[in-house]
């Protein structure tokens, strides 16, 4: 049977974290009436903001960009879950039909010591870039590449690399981790390249540098598995195991490569 | 007509089309490696074009400063491209070649692009794939480990490379990783959360930019020998589009106001397979890959006041209008044809869904033919995405689709070097107008962005810089910087002082409605004239009545948006004017006065075989029109027909 | 709030929480990083689990009566006697055990302090756990409980601090029964062993991840293995007090008076009679 578009609207009560730069924050409660179930969660916040502006209250600051679940900009902790209740769904793809009239929703920024709050719900996730900068690349200066089909990539390797590369860098793994570890993010980035033939030359330096940069900013992995549950792209914990192995190996390999083995 | 083209010199090199680029590369002045360090280049925007350009110039040894208004370069909207990237590799041995890709692109662009540029694009397309594969972009592979291809957007050959449905993401991550490598090695300085709000020129040459730090509100100035704008398209002028929330025209518009001509702003690509909006507060539209049209059948009910569910409507009360009107191509007609026909039936009142704003894309026949599993294997992720957004199960009931703005072919006018009309200011990627003519082929946006960034600009910019050897960039202590900085500060403070009654989003929505209604899929003279006057009055109201709360010295998203929307107003007006003077229908520009008896676009090659480029003349006067005549020496002009 | 650091060039980025350390030579360098420490924790964890299992299996001798139990205890001290002086092997094992404990605890403590520094406290609105289970979230509590219990257990049954006159060196059967006769000890024992099982339940799964032992074929079995192992240890260890209370180990059935001077000789004779 075709679902008829309901004209049903709902009224929600939002508990939203508000925080001015340099100050300690706290929850503010807002009513959100007239919410359609076809709205996305962020559109619901747009509506709340529109009303706040009318009332002369500065709108709630939250970040989003593509609103189709790929850029990784949106980042809300909704009722204690990174990206909210739906599995494999970024905040921007969460729709209000997941809620019922009268629901109370708590919205918080992501919390980690290395994700300082900028304002309200916006946090600074640039340490993830530091990890990437430390080695998240395959050195291939423009113009130096040979014909792409000269290096066949076994399909399973290409598929596994793609599974890892699907990471959108939203930081949900850090937000969901009780230790604020960035292990899943880093593992996705490291293994994407470590699995490919093109990534072999730098494999061991890459692993060592990225992991050690990660540890300058984030906590350690205690294998809770919360990161995987929160991940909008469902990146597998297997990549963490692979990275752990590669890291310990890198400690040996890098000595060997430099002739000290 | 000749009176128009005096100022625009495309600088297309002489010689046979296939040799132009090779010869030109040899003819260009080179910068000695030891001297490259002495040149500073600013790159604004870090999407495919910007990140690849910054990385490549960093590798070459230039001192590059890359600016992004995101927290990370990886967030640029190139990331959202789904389908793939074209390249004339001919790995499938199905008759593809550089010449064929060139030919298809010129033809697909409805003969409104510059042949020499398009040929160069087709030539370097093959290098892009090599480059991306070497960087570790996980392209789809065959079982033998070689690259897989698919046919895309009605192309007759399989030349599209892809990485699941996330090709844009993977290519951007490739360019981003190359950029981060340069950041690590010191070749590129990366400035994040910096929005460019002004281009600084001295003696008619670009010498730097003014930025606002989005976190602290600090207004800073940066100087360089050259400025490269890679800031994307202006699709968000429609408010509802498939663009990201932050996509805007400010950087290109500011350059335009400083003397860069804006070319072909009327060309906008409307993508036929998007999810229709569901409520007045819809913030953006989501595109679903065009590949869905390979198996889905598009129809609307015959009855105007149809209330039955799709499944309950008998076959003989359905109108498969594309199959009916275009028996040869059926549901696979080009994007603009599919879009316009959807608009026609919805405007006629046959739309489906509670807002009657879509048409059905029905997979029932395909599922009956191939089985649900086959369809799931092909489109599973798209079906999931559709269900997540609409709450409807497309395996059980038809999808609802409607066209949405997707890509803008127009942009800053650039010559063969990708230089705008301001010496030292370059535009690459979607920000320029160059390669797609009036309509872009599927899977060509990624190709063009990367071609410009990896393989074209890094060469051509050397030609300009070589002449600057020995001269330092204009210092930021120069009065031109102070002036530009003061200008930006004033503008920023002005938004905060208006204290009107309506939000920025309100005005953006209203503007978007006007642009969509009058400069959308179908335009006519009356509508366009109306658009110009209504946009102007809305703009006036916006400047008097917008309400921006908060302060300038902190993260203030309303303030950011106010500046962007203000520039969209300017762009919307020139877009309308451009559409008004182009008295023909071509690609993404359809004038209802100019159509064939069957309702197809009717080009006028005699009078409009040119690029229209607009010159800013000041706040109070309309832009001056300039023209660059196009010549088609290699691809013969033909009228498209999809019957 | 972390201080914002500007890289030369203007990339705004929070300052790192930790400074990079000067690397020590391999394998000591493993101890300098979290993944290395987790690797060490997993390896020592395997050793410690091995001990727990061996300890439990060995103690099952208690069901064969006081004499066999005493013989088993003695056999630990006399391993490789003839080659090595009495007690050497058991001391080597003990030292190994102590080293493993020390490494395991040191890694846990330092990782914990790293994690506390990295996560500034919980969510004000609470957190809704999905994958993290009770065992994984209580590792930092079950660990110390186990450590305290081990110390108590040594003091109680190895050094005999609290049994006083009732402690008979060399007669573990008797000492066990005497110890379990006190309800407080029984409760401590049960709590500690539940903590141990929880710790092993998460640890035995977690070590595969930490060591990077990963094979899609067996990944699903890793959870089952951990649950089975933890369950086995729990059942085995809890059987001692329970069966003891149920009378299976009965002090009254002894032929040797535990308080007699010559109890060890008596137990030895008894063994010889039964043909051991």
pLDDT digits (tens, 9 = 90+) for B101-144: 999 999 999 999 999 999 999 999 999 999 999 999 999 999 99
Catalytic residue from among B112, B254, B335, B440: B335
Interface list for C 4-23 with B (CB within 8 A): 7-12
Count CB atoms within 10 A of the CB of residue B99. Answer: 16
Architecture of domain C34-114+133-274: Up-down Bundle (1.20)
Give residue B600's pLDDT: 84
Give residue B342's pLDDT: 95
Beta bridge partners of A15: A29, A106
Buried/exposed B11-20: b ≥16 CB within 10 Å, e otherwise: ebbeeebeeb
Cβ–Cβ gap C8/B189 under 8 Å: yes
Minimal Cα–Cα distance from A24 to chain C, Å?
9
Measuring CA to CA, how many Å separate B495 from each of B238, B239, B542?
A: 22, 20, 10
Helix segments in B115-166, DSSP class H: 115-135
Interface list for C 180-239 with A (CB within 8 A): 202, 205-206, 208-214, 216, 219
Q: What is the phi/psi pair of residue C186, to 5°?
A: -60, -45
In DSSP notation, B193-236 reads SEEEEEEEEETTEEEEEEEEETTT--EEEEE-SEEEE-----GG
Measuring CA to CA, how many Å separate B331 from each of A36, B213, B323, B361, B643?
A: 33, 47, 6, 10, 12
Q: Is B469 on the interface with C (CB under 8 A)?
A: no
pLDDT higher than threshold 50 for residue B510: yes
Measuring CA to CA, how many Å separate C267 from each of C67, C90, C261?
A: 5, 22, 12
pLDDT digits (tens, 9 = 90+) for C181-210: 889 999 999 999 999 999 999 999 999 999
Does the pTM surpass 0.90? The reply is yes
Q: Alpha-carbon distance C143 to A68, whole Å?
A: 44
**Residue C21 — very low, low, confident or very high, per pLDDT cuts 50/70/90?**
confident
Cβ–Cβ gap C9/B190 under 8 Å: yes
Buried/exposed A172-184: b ≥16 CB within 10 Å, e otherwise: bbbbbbbbbbbbb
Q: Alpha-carbon distance B335 to B601, whole Å?
A: 13
Cβ–Cβ gap A17/C124 under 8 Å: yes
How high is the mean pLDDT of chain A? 94
- Which of C3, C4, C12, C14 is the best mutation test for B, with the most CBs of B within 10 A? C12
Neighbours of chain B (3+ CB pairs under 8 A): A, C
Tell me if B634 sits within 8 A of B122, measured CB to CB: no
Percent of chain A residues past pLDDT 90, beyond the cut: 93
Give residue C164's pLDDT: 82
Q: Is B194 on the interface with C (CB under 8 A)?
A: yes
Interface list for C 33-52 with A (CB within 8 A): 33-39
Residues in Cβ contact with B638 at an 8 Å cutoff, skipping those fewer than 6 apart: B107
Cβ–Cβ gap C1/A116 under 8 Å: yes
B558 contacts on A by Cβ (under 8 Å):
53, 58-59
Give residue B2's pLDDT: 41
Interface list for C 52-91 with B (CB within 8 A): none
Cβ–Cβ gap A162/B554 under 8 Å: no
Cβ–Cβ gap C137/A224 under 8 Å: yes
Tell me if B296 sits within 8 A of B361, measured CB to CB: yes
Measuring CA to CA, how many Å separate C18 from each of C14, C24, C32, C34?
A: 12, 17, 12, 12
- Laid out side by side, the sheet with B205-213 consists of B194-202, B205-213, B219-223
C217 contacts on A by Cβ (under 8 Å):
none
Percent of chain C residues past pLDDT 70, beyond the cut: 94
Q: Alpha-carbon distance C46 to C205, whole Å?
A: 11
pLDDT digits (tens, 9 = 90+) for C32-43: 999 999 999 999
Q: Alpha-carbon distance B76 to B431, whole Å?
A: 13
Q: Is A212 on the interface with C (CB under 8 A)?
A: yes
**Residue B5 — very low, low, confident or very high, per pLDDT cuts 50/70/90?**
low
C9 contacts on B by Cβ (under 8 Å):
65, 183, 189-191
Question: How far from chain centre, in Å, is Cα B284?
Answer: 16
Domain positions in chain C? 34-114+133-274
The H or E element spanning position C49 is helix C34-59
Nearest CA in chain B to C6: B191
Nearest CA in chain A to B183: A133
The total number of residues written for chain C in this structure: 276
Report the interhelical angle of C139-153 vs C88-118 (nearest 10°): 150
Q: Alpha-carbon distance C68 to A118, whole Å?
A: 69
Measuring CA to CA, how many Å separate B572 from each of B202, B519, B532, B593, B615?
A: 28, 9, 8, 21, 15
Q: Is B251 on the interface with C (CB under 8 A)?
A: no
C7 contacts on B by Cβ (under 8 Å):
190
pLDDT higher than threshold 80 for residue A246: yes
Closest to B488 (Cα-Cα) out of B186, B152, B221, B282: B221
Closest to B219 (Cα-Cα) out of B578, B490, B581: B490
B70 contacts on A by Cβ (under 8 Å):
65, 73
Residue with tokens 């520009």: B589
Catalytic-residue membership of B388? no
- Which of A142, A154, A202 is the best mutation test for B, with the most CBs of B within 10 A? A142
Q: Alpha-carbon distance C148 to C136, whole Å?
A: 19
- Which of C34, C104, C117 is the best mutation test for A, with the most CBs of A within 10 A? C34
Cβ–Cβ gap A224/C131 under 8 Å: yes
Closest to A82 (Cα-Cα) out of A175, A180, A220: A175
B332: tokens are 């696979």
pLDDT higher than threshold 90 for residue B638: no
A244 contacts on C by Cβ (under 8 Å):
35, 38-39, 209-212
Give residue B44's pLDDT: 98
pLDDT digits (tens, 9 = 90+) for C53-106: 999 999 999 988 888 999 999 999 888 888 888 889 999 999 999 999 999 999
B167 contacts on A by Cβ (under 8 Å):
none
Q: Could you say which of C17, C19, C212 has the minimum Cβ distance to residue A241?
A: C212
ipTM > 0.90 (yes/no) = yes
Give residue C4's pLDDT: 46
Q: What is the phi/psi pair of residue A107, to 5°?
A: -120, 125
Cβ–Cβ gap B549/A59 under 8 Å: yes
Q: Is C105 on the interface with A (CB under 8 A)?
A: no
Residues in Cβ contact with C82 at an 8 Å cutoff, skipping those fewer than 6 apart: none
Q: Alpha-carbon distance A129 to B509, whole Å?
A: 34
C14 contacts on B by Cβ (under 8 Å):
none
- Which of A55, A148, A196, A197 is the best mutation test for B, with the most CBs of B within 10 A? A148
- Identify the structural domains of chain A with CATH numbers, from first to last: 9-119 (3.10.20.30), 125-254 (1.10.1060.10)
Give residue C204's pLDDT: 95
In DSSP notation, B280-303 reads TT-----B--GGGGGT-EEEEESS
Which residue pairs, CB below 8 angstroms and at least 24 apart, start in B527-535? B528/B576, B528/B577, B528/B579, B528/B580, B529/B580, B531/B572, B531/B576, B532/B573, B532/B576, B532/B577, B532/B580, B535/B511, B535/B569, B535/B572, B535/B573, B535/B576
Minimal Cα–Cα distance from B195 to chain C, Å?
13
Q: Alpha-carbon distance C206 to C131, whole Å?
A: 13
pLDDT higher than threshold 60 for residue B1: no
Neighbours of chain C (3+ CB pairs under 8 A): A, B
Q: Are strands B160-161 and B85-86 parallel, antiparallel or unpaired?
A: antiparallel
């Amino acid at each position: 049977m075709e679902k008829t578009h309901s004209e049903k609207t709902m009224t929600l009560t939002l508990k939203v974290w508000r925080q001015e730069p340099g100050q300690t924050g706290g929850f503010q409660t807002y009513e959100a009436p007239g919410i359609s179930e076809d709205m996305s969660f962020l559109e619901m916040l747009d509506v709340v903001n529109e009303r706040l502006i009318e009332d002369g209250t500065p709108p709630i600051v939250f970040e989003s960009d593509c609103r189709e679940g790929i850029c990784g900009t949106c980042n809300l902790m909704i009722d204690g879950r990174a990206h909210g209740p739906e599995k494999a769904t970024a905040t921007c793809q969460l729709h209000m039909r997941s809620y019922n009239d009268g629901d109370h929703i708590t919205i918080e920024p992501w919390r980690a010591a290395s994700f300082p709050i900028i304002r309200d719900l916006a946090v600074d996730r640039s340490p993830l870039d530091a990890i990437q900068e430390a080695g998240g690349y395959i050195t291939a200066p423009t113009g130096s590449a040979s014909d792409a089909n000269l290096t066949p990539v076994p399909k399973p390797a290409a598929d596994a690399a793609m599974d890892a590369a699907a990471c959108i860098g939203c930081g949900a793994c850090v937000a969901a981790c009780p230790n604020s570890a960035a292990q899943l993010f880093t593992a996705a980035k490291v293994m994407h390249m470590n699995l490919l033939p093109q990534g072999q030359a730098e494999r061991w330096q890459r692993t060592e540098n990225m992991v050690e940069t990660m540890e300058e900013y984030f906590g350690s992995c205690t294998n809770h598995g919360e990161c995987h549950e929160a991940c909008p792209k469902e990146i597998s914990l297997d990549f963490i195991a692979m990275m752990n192995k590669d890291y310990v190996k890198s400690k040996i390999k890098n000595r060997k490569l430099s002739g000290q083995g | 007509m000749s009176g128009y083209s005096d100022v625009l010199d495309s600088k297309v090199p002489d010689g046979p089309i296939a040799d132009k680029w090779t010869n030109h590369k040899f003819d260009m002045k080179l910068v000695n490696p030891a001297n490259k360090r002495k040149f500073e280049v600013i790159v604004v925007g870090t999407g495919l074009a910007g990140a690849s350009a910054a990385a490549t110039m960093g590798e070459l040894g230039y001192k590059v400063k890359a600016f992004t208004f995101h927290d990370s370069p990886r967030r640029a909207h190139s990331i959202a491209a789904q389908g793939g990237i074209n390249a004339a590799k001919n790995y499938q041995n199905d008759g593809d070649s550089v010449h064929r890709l060139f030919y298809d692109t010129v033809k697909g662009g409805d003969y409104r692009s510059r042949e020499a540029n398009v040929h160069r694009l087709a030539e370097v397309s093959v290098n892009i794939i090599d480059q991306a594969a070497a960087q570790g972009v996980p392209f789809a592979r065959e079982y033998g480990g070689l690259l897989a291809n698919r046919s895309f957007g009605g192309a007759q050959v399989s030349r599209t490379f892809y990485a699941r449905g996330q090709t844009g993401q993977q290519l951007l991550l490739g360019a981003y990783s190359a950029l981060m490598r340069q950041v690590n090695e010191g070749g590129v300085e990366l400035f994040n959360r910096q929005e460019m709000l002004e281009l600084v020129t001295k003696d008619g040459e670009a010498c730097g930019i003014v930025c606002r730090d989005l976190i602290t509100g600090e207004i800073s100035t940066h100087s360089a020998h050259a400025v490269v704008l890679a800031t994307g398209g202006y699709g968000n002028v429609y408010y509802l589009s498939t663009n990201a929330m932050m996509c805007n025209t400010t950087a290109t518009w500011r350059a335009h106001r400083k003397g860069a001509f804006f070319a072909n702003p009327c060309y906008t690509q409307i993508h036929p397979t998007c999810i229709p909006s569901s409520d007045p507060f819809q913030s953006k539209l989501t595109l679903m890959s065009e590949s869905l049209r390979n198996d889905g059948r598009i129809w609307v009910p015959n009855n105007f006041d149809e209330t039955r569910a799709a499944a309950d409507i008998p076959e003989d009360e359905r109108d498969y209008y594309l199959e009916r009107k275009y028996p040869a191509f059926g549901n696979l007609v080009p994007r603009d044809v599919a879009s316009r026909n959807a608009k026609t039936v919805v405007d006629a009142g046959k739309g489906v869904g509670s807002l009657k704003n879509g048409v059905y894309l029905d997979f029932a026949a395909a599922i009956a033919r191939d089985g649900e599993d086959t369809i799931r294997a092909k489109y599973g992720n798209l079906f999931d995405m559709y269900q997540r957004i609409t709450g409807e199960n497309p395996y059980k009931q038809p999808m609802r689709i409607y066209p949405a703005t997707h890509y803008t072919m127009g942009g800053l006018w650039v010559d063969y070097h990708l230089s705008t009309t301001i010496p030292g200011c370059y535009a690459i990627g979607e920000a320029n107008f160059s390669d797609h003519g009036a309509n872009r082929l599927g899977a060509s946006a990624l190709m063009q962005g990367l071609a410009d960034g990896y393989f074209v600009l890094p060469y051509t910019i050397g030609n300009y810089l070589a002449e600057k050897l020995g001269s330092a960039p204009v210092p930021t202590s120069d009065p031109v910087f102070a002036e530009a900085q003061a200008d930006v500060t004033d503008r920023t403070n002005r938004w905060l002082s208006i204290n009107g009654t309506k939000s920025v989003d309100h005005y953006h929505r209203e503007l978007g409605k006007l642009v969509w209604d009058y400069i959308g899929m179908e335009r006519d003279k009356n509508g366009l004239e109306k658009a110009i006057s209504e946009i102007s009055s809305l703009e006036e109201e916006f400047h008097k009545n917008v309400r921006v709360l908060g302060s300038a010295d902190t993260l203030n998203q309303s303030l950011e948006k106010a500046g962007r929307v203000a520039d969209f107003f300017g762009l919307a007006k020139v877009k309308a004017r451009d559409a008004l003077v182009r008295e023909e229908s071509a690609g993404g520009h359809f004038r209802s006065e100019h159509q064939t008896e069957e309702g197809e676009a009717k080009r006028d090659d005699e009078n409009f075989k040119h690029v229209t480029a607009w010159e800013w003349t000041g706040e109070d006067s309309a832009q001056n029109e300039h023209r660059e005549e196009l010549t088609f020496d290699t691809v013969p002009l033909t009228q498209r027909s999809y019957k | 709030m972390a201080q914002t650091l500007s890289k030369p060039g203007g990339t705004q980025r929070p300052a790192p929480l930790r400074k990079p350390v000067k690397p020590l030579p391999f394998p000591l360098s493993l101890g300098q990083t979290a993944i290395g420490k987790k690797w060490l924790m997993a390896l020592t964890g395997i050793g410690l689990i091995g001990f727990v299992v061996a300890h439990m299996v060995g103690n099952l001798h208690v069901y064969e009566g006081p004499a066999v139990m005493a013989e088993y205890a003695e056999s630990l001290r006399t391993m490789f006697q003839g080659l090595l002086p009495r007690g050497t092997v058991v001391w080597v094992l003990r030292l190994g055990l102590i080293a493993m404990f020390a490494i395991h605890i040191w890694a846990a403590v330092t990782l914990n302090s790293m994690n506390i520094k990295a996560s500034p406290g919980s969510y004000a609105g609470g957190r809704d756990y999905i994958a993290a289970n009770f065992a994984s979230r209580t590792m930092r509590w079950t660990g110390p409980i186990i450590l305290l219990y081990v110390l108590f257990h040594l003091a109680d049954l190895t050094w005999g601090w609290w049994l006083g006159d009732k402690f008979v060196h060399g007669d573990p059967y008797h000492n066990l029964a005497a110890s379990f006769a006190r309800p407080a000890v029984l409760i401590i024992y049960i709590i500690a062993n539940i903590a141990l099982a929880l710790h092993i339940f998460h640890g035995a799964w977690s070590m595969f991840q930490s060591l990077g032992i990963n094979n899609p074929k067996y990944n699903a079995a890793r959870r089952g293995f951990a649950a089975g192992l933890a369950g086995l240890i729990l059942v085995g260890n809890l059987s001692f007090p329970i069966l003891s209370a149920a009378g299976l180990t009965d002090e009254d059935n002894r032929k040797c008076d535990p308080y007699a001077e010559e109890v060890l000789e008596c137990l030895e004779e008894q063994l010889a009679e039964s043909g051991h």
